[in-house]
Chain A
Amino acid sequence: MAKITYREALNQAMCNEMERDDRVFLMGEEVAEYNGAYKVSQGMLDKFGPKRVIDTPITELGFAGLGVGAAMAGLRPIIEFMTWNFAILAADQIVNAAAKMKYMTAGQYNCPMVFRGAGGAAARVSSQHSQAFENWYANIPGLKVVMPSNPADAKGLLAASIRDNDTVIFIENEINYGDIAEVPEGEYIIPLGKADIKRVGKDITLVAHSRMTGYALAAAEELAKMGIDAEVVDPRTIRPLDEATILASVAKTNRAVVIEEGWRFAGIGAEISARIMEKGFDDLDAPVARVTGKDVPMPYAANLENHALPSVADIVEAARVTCNRA
């Protein structure tokens, strides 16, 4: 296995799928000649030409809708949003069109496509450019929501998302783009809807996705020094959620902390902790705790930003409290 970056892994997945299926194309702002604002599509214009790797004007609503129509007409669009902050302009096409098309047409049409791009907080870019929206999309029937936390998952999950016959919201993380790890070469598919146990442990379950998975793993190392053996579960697909893996972990550890970068209210942690309560109540020795971003728009100043985001220390603290070791 070669060691490659998260962004290269995404690139490989797209290239492999485009080689395999000529209905697949990539469209978005700066994806072609500039090789991607974050260089995820590096070299793809050279490889596939301007027919399949297409730069757009800055018109998110328009090209998202174009993707929906092209998918309905039988193509397999990958629509890149430079970041998910800008997808808000396209929300109508995602939520009102793509997500509902199969249902509204009683199956006459479907939208096999991927909307992808960077989500979550980036560094020092303030309120409009640092936001986690996975809970918005995860609320919508008709969508699948996928969030890889490491390079191998990025490759396997994106390939699966492109092959999937529904609309997939694929949320990457800008700060993870440069992460390097071993990634299987050639075709590599990770089925959607399968969580992954990133660290095996017996004392407490830490559920975390995207960039927070790395934080949870770092917290687990800290906890180990305190004699707490944490298990880290990465859902990978947020919707539909592999709750069986989470529940099995909680059945073993009897304690859980759910971690997300986004806001707490009606967040992913709210859903996951509700499921644990509904389905795993008898396994619990303590209430499920949540670690989330603070309930504020993201500020620019370094000290404020730091304070707004969840930290490894926050996770350690929540885990200790949950294990009665505070």
Chain B
Amino acid sequence: MTGTKTQEQAVGLTQEGRFYSAERLHAMHGMMLYIRRFEEKAGQMYGLKKIGGFCHLCNGQEAVCVGMEEASEPTDYMMTSYRDHGHIIARGTNPTAVMAELLGRAGGVVGGKGGSMHMFDVEKNFAGGNGIVGEQVPIGLGFAFASQYRDDKRVSITIMGDGGVNQGAVYESFNMAALWKLPVVFVIENNQYAMGTSLSRASAETHLYKRGISFKVPGIQVDGMDVLEVERKMGEAIEHARSGQGPIIVEMMTYRYRGHSMSDPATYRTRDEVDEWRTGRDPIARLQKQMIEAGLATEAEFKQKDKDIKKEIVAVAKAAEAQPEPDLSVLWDDILTDEIPNAYPYPRQVG
């Protein structure tokens, strides 16, 4: 990695031959930091019992969220598991709506019906937010199928975890995707653990990018703690899919700093291990360092930016909390599209 300053003035930096403007770098950094602070706020709100149920934070994985978003087109489809706050925020969904969803408020992305695990935004082509491990993988394949069917060159970015990759439907999907050359990028967020199970305790082949070999799905491994590498390699993968060469697997090497969900004390890993990632490989600190070295920003500027973001998020939380709970009548909304009024069970009523 080289921080290059042009002769006249610092306007960006180049990594592996790819140039990033200062403006773009600031945006990527800002989004990662925003997600980090958003998740911290969510954790806090959970502690205050304002958020209930399961809540999975993505602290540590921000470079994956942001780098992928940078590499994709807004028209590309994206779907993931329940660890979805960072992805949907990176996609550009209004963070107040995301926070409102976490709080079960009327203005949440799905009106308070889904909560943490079920963030959806059709306008941003973000199809969840899926609570059943592996569920989104064949669904992502379906989006890719629709893209091929209409020949509209949209790519399906289908994200799963290192645990989710072991579901049978994933392999059925690999095979169909390769067989029909569907435009799908299978992203494996390898954060080393599926709940309390480390990768090597659940997978015989721990190089997950190789999991497509017998299906002729190529795979690459990416440093998921380096937002620029994520952007670059994801860009190549998306291009591969978009150009009609079929599916590709991208294994993002990353780490979740927090427990699996809010109720997990994460005693299955050592402090040292967490520290190694957290202080040694943190994606936000890394980009900051690169930008400072390239003369694109100063420590003081980053401090101020952090302050501003924290302030913004306090405002977001406040605005979300000020929203009313959903109206009770919405309980009966959106179950069927074509309700049949005179047959039991009758729409919108008990008994």
Instruction: Decide: B118 and A37 in contact? CB cutoff 8 A.
Output: no
Instruction: Decide: A127 and B114 in contact? CB cutoff 8 A.
Output: yes
Interface residue ranges of B107-128 to A (CB < 8 Å): 108, 112-115, 117-118
Instruction: Decide: A129 and B112 in contact? CB cutoff 8 A.
Output: no
Residue B213 is within 8 A (CB to CB) of chain A in the complex: no
Instruction: Decide: A57 and B131 in contact? CB cutoff 8 A.
Output: no
Residue A313 is within 8 A (CB to CB) of chain B in the complex: no
Q: B196 to chain A: which residues have CB within 8 Å?
A: 30, 33-34
Q: B166 to chain A: which residues have CB within 8 Å?
A: 57-59
- What's the least CB distance linking A299 to chain B, in Å? 4
Residue A294 is within 8 A (CB to CB) of chain B in the complex: yes
Instruction: State the interface size on chain A (CB cutoff 8 A).
Output: 40
Q: B163 to chain A: which residues have CB within 8 Å?
A: 57-58
Secondary structure of the A contact surface, majority rule = loop
A5-13, A249-257, A303-311: which lies at the interface: A303-311
- What's the least CB distance linking A58 to chain B, in Å? 5
Q: A30 to chain B: which residues have CB within 8 Å?
A: 195-197
**Residue from B101, B113, B201 whose CB has the most chain A CB atoms within 10 Å:** B113
A299 to B331, CA, bound (A): 7
- What's the least CB distance linking A307 to chain B, in Å? 6
Q: A29 to chain B: which residues have CB within 8 Å?
A: 195, 197
Known: A30-B195, A294-B350, A297-B335. A304 touches B326 (CB 8 A): yes
- What's the least CB distance linking A42 to chain B, in Å? 13
Residue A125 is within 8 A (CB to CB) of chain B in the complex: yes
Number of A-B contacts (CB under 8 A): 130
Secondary structure of the B contact surface, majority rule = loop
Residue A116 is within 8 A (CB to CB) of chain B in the complex: no
Instruction: Decide: B113 and A294 in contact? CB cutoff 8 A.
Output: no
Closest to B115 in A: A300
Known: A128-B132, A301-B104, A301-B105. A123 touches B168 (CB 8 A): no
Residue A139 is within 8 A (CB to CB) of chain B in the complex: no
Instruction: From the candidates B53, B117, B331, B344, name the one contacting A307 in the complex (CB within 8 A).
Output: B331
Query: Interface digits, B337-351 against A, CB 8 Å rule (1 contact, 0 not)?
Result: 000000011000011
Known: A30-B196, A296-B332. A128 touches B326 (CB 8 A): no
Residue A231 is within 8 A (CB to CB) of chain B in the complex: no
Instruction: From the candidates A59, A89, A127, A307, name the one contacting B113 in the complex (CB within 8 A).
Output: A127
Known: A264-B345, A265-B345. A58 touches B53 (CB 8 A): no
Query: Can you list 25 A-B pairs with a CB-CB distance of less than 8 A?
Result: A29-B197, A30-B196, A33-B197, A33-B268, A34-B196, A34-B197, A55-B202, A57-B202, A60-B167, A85-B131, A85-B132, A88-B132, A89-B167, A124-B104, A125-B53, A125-B117, A126-B113, A126-B118, A128-B118, A129-B117, A294-B331, A300-B52, A300-B53, A300-B112, A300-B115
Residue positions of B touching A, CB distance < 8 A: 52-54, 101, 104-105, 108, 112-115, 117-118, 130-134, 163-164, 166-168, 194-197, 201-203, 268, 325-326, 328, 330-332, 335, 344-345, 350-351
